[in-house]
Amino acid sequence: MKKILIIFYASFLLISCSKNKVFEEFVKFDNYDWKMDYVVKFDVPIDDTSSFYNVSIPIRHIDNYPYDGLLVNFTYNAPNGEEHTKNYKLNFRNADGKFKGDVAGDIWDETVMIMEKAKFNAKGIYKFEIINNMPTTPTQGIMELGLLIEKVK
Protein backbone atom coordinates (compact mmCIF):
# COMPACT_ATOMS: atom_id res chain seq x y z
CA MET A 1 0.00 0.00 0.00
CA LYS A 2 2.85 2.41 0.81
CA LYS A 3 4.38 2.01 -2.68
CA ILE A 4 1.04 2.78 -4.30
CA LEU A 5 0.66 5.96 -2.26
CA ILE A 6 4.18 7.10 -3.09
CA ILE A 7 3.62 6.52 -6.81
CA PHE A 8 0.25 8.30 -6.66
CA TYR A 9 1.75 11.21 -4.71
CA ALA A 10 4.64 11.55 -7.17
CA SER A 11 2.25 11.40 -10.12
CA PHE A 12 0.02 14.03 -8.51
CA LEU A 13 2.98 16.33 -7.98
CA LEU A 14 4.07 15.97 -11.59
CA ILE A 15 0.58 16.71 -12.88
CA SER A 16 -0.13 19.60 -10.53
CA CYS A 17 3.20 21.39 -10.91
CA SER A 18 4.17 20.72 -14.50
CA LYS A 19 2.25 23.59 -16.13
CA ASN A 20 4.38 26.22 -14.33
CA LYS A 21 7.65 24.33 -14.67
CA VAL A 22 10.06 25.99 -17.09
CA PHE A 23 13.11 23.80 -16.41
CA GLU A 24 14.04 20.78 -14.32
CA GLU A 25 17.20 18.74 -14.68
CA PHE A 26 19.37 16.62 -12.38
CA VAL A 27 22.98 15.46 -12.22
CA LYS A 28 23.83 12.15 -10.53
CA PHE A 29 27.01 11.70 -8.53
CA ASP A 30 29.11 8.53 -8.72
CA ASN A 31 29.25 6.67 -5.39
CA TYR A 32 27.06 9.44 -3.88
CA ASP A 33 30.14 11.68 -3.58
CA TRP A 34 30.14 15.28 -4.81
CA LYS A 35 33.72 16.32 -5.32
CA MET A 36 34.61 19.99 -4.93
CA ASP A 37 36.08 20.26 -8.42
CA TYR A 38 32.89 18.96 -10.07
CA VAL A 39 30.88 22.03 -11.10
CA VAL A 40 27.22 21.29 -11.84
CA LYS A 41 26.13 23.22 -14.94
CA PHE A 42 22.77 23.86 -16.58
CA ASP A 43 21.82 25.81 -19.71
CA VAL A 44 18.30 27.20 -19.43
CA PRO A 45 16.38 28.93 -22.22
CA ILE A 46 14.29 31.86 -20.98
CA ASP A 47 11.83 33.31 -23.50
CA ASP A 48 9.48 35.25 -21.21
CA THR A 49 10.99 38.34 -19.57
CA SER A 50 7.65 39.63 -18.25
CA SER A 51 7.09 36.77 -15.78
CA PHE A 52 8.51 36.15 -12.32
CA TYR A 53 10.26 32.88 -11.51
CA ASN A 54 11.05 30.76 -8.46
CA VAL A 55 14.43 29.07 -8.65
CA SER A 56 15.08 26.01 -6.45
CA ILE A 57 17.81 23.45 -5.96
CA PRO A 58 16.40 19.94 -5.51
CA ILE A 59 18.73 17.46 -3.80
CA ARG A 60 18.45 13.72 -3.25
CA HIS A 61 20.56 12.32 -0.42
CA ILE A 62 20.84 9.18 1.68
CA ASP A 63 19.40 8.82 5.17
CA ASN A 64 22.74 8.96 6.95
CA TYR A 65 23.85 12.23 5.32
CA PRO A 66 26.02 13.61 8.14
CA TYR A 67 25.40 17.36 7.79
CA ASP A 68 22.45 19.65 8.48
CA GLY A 69 22.69 21.12 5.00
CA LEU A 70 24.87 21.85 2.04
CA LEU A 71 27.04 24.90 1.31
CA VAL A 72 27.02 25.94 -2.34
CA ASN A 73 28.02 28.82 -4.55
CA PHE A 74 25.30 29.58 -7.10
CA THR A 75 26.13 31.59 -10.22
CA TYR A 76 24.17 32.44 -13.30
CA ASN A 77 25.19 34.29 -16.41
CA ALA A 78 22.54 36.07 -18.46
CA PRO A 79 22.64 36.27 -22.26
CA ASN A 80 23.28 40.03 -22.01
CA GLY A 81 26.55 39.42 -20.10
CA GLU A 82 25.30 40.06 -16.54
CA GLU A 83 26.68 37.69 -13.90
CA HIS A 84 25.07 37.02 -10.53
CA THR A 85 26.70 34.92 -7.81
CA LYS A 86 25.81 34.15 -4.21
CA ASN A 87 26.73 31.62 -1.51
CA TYR A 88 23.90 29.63 0.07
CA LYS A 89 23.46 27.20 2.90
CA LEU A 90 20.77 24.76 1.83
CA ASN A 91 19.24 23.63 5.13
CA PHE A 92 17.95 20.05 5.23
CA ARG A 93 17.02 19.70 8.90
CA ASN A 94 14.35 21.14 11.20
CA ALA A 95 15.21 22.71 14.57
CA ASP A 96 14.80 19.26 16.17
CA GLY A 97 17.53 17.83 13.90
CA LYS A 98 15.26 15.73 11.67
CA PHE A 99 15.36 15.97 7.89
CA LYS A 100 12.52 18.09 6.56
CA GLY A 101 12.20 16.70 3.02
CA ASP A 102 10.24 13.81 1.60
CA VAL A 103 11.47 10.30 2.33
CA ALA A 104 11.05 6.97 0.57
CA GLY A 105 12.88 4.23 2.45
CA ASP A 106 16.33 5.66 3.19
CA ILE A 107 16.35 8.25 0.40
CA TRP A 108 15.46 11.88 1.05
CA ASP A 109 14.34 14.49 -1.45
CA GLU A 110 14.87 18.11 -0.46
CA THR A 111 13.96 21.15 -2.52
CA VAL A 112 15.35 24.47 -1.34
CA MET A 113 14.14 27.68 -2.97
CA ILE A 114 17.01 30.11 -3.44
CA MET A 115 15.37 32.80 -5.57
CA GLU A 116 11.75 33.83 -5.07
CA LYS A 117 9.90 35.90 -7.67
CA ALA A 118 13.09 36.47 -9.66
CA LYS A 119 13.01 38.41 -12.90
CA PHE A 120 15.11 37.49 -15.93
CA ASN A 121 15.60 40.64 -18.01
CA ALA A 122 17.03 39.19 -21.23
CA LYS A 123 15.75 36.48 -23.55
CA GLY A 124 18.10 33.63 -24.40
CA ILE A 125 20.20 30.94 -22.74
CA TYR A 126 21.07 31.46 -19.07
CA LYS A 127 24.07 29.50 -17.80
CA PHE A 128 23.75 28.27 -14.22
CA GLU A 129 26.57 26.79 -12.12
CA ILE A 130 26.45 25.22 -8.68
CA ILE A 131 29.75 24.71 -6.87
CA ASN A 132 30.30 22.60 -3.75
CA ASN A 133 31.50 24.88 -0.91
CA MET A 134 31.58 22.26 1.85
CA PRO A 135 34.75 22.35 3.97
CA THR A 136 35.43 18.64 3.42
CA THR A 137 35.19 16.94 0.09
CA PRO A 138 34.05 14.81 -1.38
CA THR A 139 30.71 15.50 0.24
CA GLN A 140 29.41 12.02 0.87
CA GLY A 141 25.76 11.02 0.71
CA ILE A 142 24.60 13.32 -2.11
CA MET A 143 22.97 11.21 -4.82
CA GLU A 144 21.65 13.91 -7.16
CA LEU A 145 21.50 17.67 -7.40
CA GLY A 146 19.39 19.67 -9.79
CA LEU A 147 17.90 22.94 -10.87
CA LEU A 148 14.17 23.69 -10.90
CA ILE A 149 12.73 26.88 -12.38
CA GLU A 150 9.01 27.59 -12.24
CA LYS A 151 6.91 30.55 -13.30
CA VAL A 152 5.11 32.28 -10.48
CA LYS A 153 1.35 32.39 -10.99
Check pLDDT > 70 for residue 13: no
pTM (predicted TM-score): 0.85
Look at residue 150 and tell me whether its pLDDT is greater than 70. yes
| Architecture (CATH level 2) of domain 22-151 | Sandwich (2.60)
State residue 1's pLDDT score: 39
How many CB atoms lie under 10 A from the CB of residue 76? 21
**Residue 83 class from Cβ within 10 Å (0-12 exposed, 13-18 middle, 19+ buried)?**
exposed
Percent of the chain exceeding pLDDT 90 equals: 84
10: pLDDT strictly greater than 60:
no
- What string of H, E and C letters represents the secondary structure of 86-137? EEEEEECECCCCCECCEEECCEEEEEEEEEEEEECCCCEEEEEEEEECCCCC
In the predicted structure, residue 19 carries a pLDDT above the cut 90: no
pLDDT at 9 over 60: no
Nearest to 67 by CA among 146, 140, 133: 140
21-36 pLDDT, tens digit each: 999 999 999 999 999 8
The pLDDT tens digits of the residues spanning 33-77 come to 999 889 999 999 999 999 999 999 999 999 999 999 999 999 999
The C-alpha atoms of residue 6 and residue 3 are separated, in whole angstroms, by 5
**Whether 140 contacts 46, CB under 8 Å:** no
Span 111-119, average pLDDT: 97
pLDDT at position 85 is 98
Quote the pLDDT of residue 18.
Answer: 59
